[in-house]
């Protein structure tokens, strides 16, 4: 009887294996997306993505990987927090933005859709500039002042301001009430006009250096001083599902990004001009090149200063779980980078 049962079991196993093989042959492999939707913001910090778009580097590497006809759809949306909402809603494949929003979305989606960073795209300081002659430090702001930044409370600029407030006042949200959400170009226009409620702007290259060309504008602080070290400004991130179901598209994007980085760092004058032309900017290429040559500015895929932001956001209760290390917040492709 035992022998008969073993024979039946072996035969059933063989049949099941055969059916599994047949199903594998009959069912087509999961098709990768034909269009990868990517969001980017304003400013020189997004130059690697701008180069990818202008020179069609995703398409180049997708075709090499056998994904003929795959394209990237680029859109401009300021604020990593806004982009994160679209990513969670399935309306983007790749999102970009500041370090604060990346840490927040990693914590928010851990254990469900698992959003992680793909790479950094730069390390750059952020400046808080003001036209109020009475402001020397953030202690000097009054209820008559308004500070423009991309997204209140959650953008990297908002987090940097909270870090400084924690040091100065012992309360991270002490001056959140003074902040106003404005895209970088709009905040710059408002500040320089001197005709609005905006008396300060916490912004990024090229806008902060553009503002400082005006003699009535002065710098209150640099984010590098607040954080205590250089840090990534803009990064890119996606969901675990997109990476798992579209491995060739993911690899093509990373290959295109790495090629863009190499091109920028090998020929900064060329890509300073490309930035001006592609963005229809009124700034001179020489001015953009000056910024790109600033030793505080790096175009790199290595994430910097991520744990300092994570530690702060955990301390103030914005995120409930602290990552064990910066690698927890990023997919494995950049784990060999000199991150922090």
In tens, the pLDDT along 214-231 reads: 999 999 999 999 999 999
Predicted local confidence at residue 88, as pLDDT? 85
Domain coordinates in residue numbering, the chain: 35-123+232-334, 127-227
Judged against a pLDDT cut of 80, whether residue 5 lies above it is answered with no
CB 221 within 8 A of CB 167: no
User: Rounded to the nearest 5°, which phi and psi values hold at 287?
Assistant: -70, -40
Mean of the pLDDT values across residues 43-48? Answer: 95
Mean pLDDT computed over 95-108: 93
How large a percentage of the chain has pLDDT more than 90?
A: 84
35-123+232-334, which class in CATH?
alpha beta
* Per-residue model confidence (pLDDT) at position 22: 40
| Full strand arrangement of the beta sheet holding 179-181 | 179-181, 146-149, 198-203, 127-130, 218-222
Other CB atoms closer than 10 Å to residue 7's CB: what's the count?
A: 10
User: For the chain, what percent of residues have pLDDT higher than 70?
Assistant: 90
Give the lowest-confidence range in 12-16, 40-44, 245-249.
Answer: 12-16
Q: What angle do CA 39, 43, 48 make, to 5 degrees?
A: 60
Q: 31 pLDDT band (50/70/90 cuts)?
A: confident
**What average pLDDT does range 189-210 have in this prediction?**
95
Tens-digit pLDDT profile for residues 69-99: 999 999 987 665 677 778 888 899 999 999 9
Q: How far apart are CA 181 and CA 252, in angstroms?
A: 34
Is the model's pLDDT at 126 over the cut of 90? yes
3-class DSSP state of 233: coil
Architecture field, domain 127-227: 3-Layer(aba) Sandwich (3.40)
pLDDT at 1 over 50: no
Whether the per-residue pLDDT at 11 is higher than 80: the answer is no
Q: Which pLDDT value is given to residue 10?
A: 43
Mean pLDDT of all residues in 124-136: 97
As a dihedral over the C-alpha atoms of residue 219, residue 78, residue 193, residue 128, rounded to 10 degrees, the angle is -10
Are 35-123+232-334 and 127-227 equal in CATH topology?
Answer: yes
Q: Quote the pLDDT of residue 78.
A: 66
Mean pLDDT across the chain: 90
The per-residue pLDDT for 77 is: 79
Q: State the Cα–Cα distance between residues 52 and 123, nearest whole angstrom.
A: 18
Whether 24 has a pLDDT exceeding 90, the answer reads: no
pLDDT of 277-325, one tens digit each?
999 999 999 999 999 999 999 999 999 999 999 999 999 999 999 999 9
* pLDDT given for residue 188 in this prediction: 97
pLDDT for residue 83: 77
Q: Residue 8: what pLDDT?
A: 32
Instruction: Name the DSSP letter for residue 237.
Output: E
């Amino acid at each position: 009887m035992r022998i008969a049962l073993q024979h039946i079991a072996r035969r059933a196993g063989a049949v099941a294996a055969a059916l599994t093989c047949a199903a594998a042959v009959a069912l087509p492999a999961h098709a990768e997306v034909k269009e990868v939707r990517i969001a980017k913001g304003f400013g020189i910090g997004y130059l690697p993505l701008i180069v990818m778009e202008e020179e069609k580097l995703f398409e180049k590497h997708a075709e090499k990987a056998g994904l003929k006809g795959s394209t990237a759809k680029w859109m401009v949306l300021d604020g990593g927090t806004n982009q994160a909402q679209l990513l969670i809603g399935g309306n983007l494949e790749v999102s970009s933005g500041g370090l604060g929003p990346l840490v927040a979305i990693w914590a928010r989606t851990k254990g469900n859709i698992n959003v992680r960073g793909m790479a950094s795209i730069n390390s750059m300081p952020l400046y808080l500039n003001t036209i109020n002659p009475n402001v020397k430090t953030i202690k000097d702001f009054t209820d008559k002042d308004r500070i423009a930044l991309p997204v209140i409370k959650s953008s990297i600029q908002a987090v940097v301001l909270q870090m400084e407030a924690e040091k100065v006042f012992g309360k991270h949200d002490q001056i959140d009430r003074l902040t106003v959400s404005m895209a970088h170009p709009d905040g710059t226009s408002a500040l320089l006009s001197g005709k609005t409620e905006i008396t300060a702007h916490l912004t990024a290259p090229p806008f902060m250096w553009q503002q400082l060309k005006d003699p009535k504008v002065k710098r209150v602080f640099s984010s590098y001083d607040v954080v205590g070290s250089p840090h990534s400004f803009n990064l890119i991130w996606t969901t675990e599902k997109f990476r798992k179901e579209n491995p060739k598209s993911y690899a093509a994007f990373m290959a295109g990004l790495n090629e863009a980085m190499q091109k920028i760092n090998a020929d900064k004058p060329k890509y300073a001009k490309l930035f001006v032309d592609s963005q229809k900017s009124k700034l001179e290429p020489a001015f953009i090149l000056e910024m790109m040559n600033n030793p505080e500015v790096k175009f790199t895929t290595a994430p910097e200063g991520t744990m300092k932001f994570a530690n702060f956001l955990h301390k103030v209760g914005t995120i409930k779980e602290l990552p064990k290390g910066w690698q927890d917040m990023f997919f494995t492709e950049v784990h060999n980078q000199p991150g922090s």
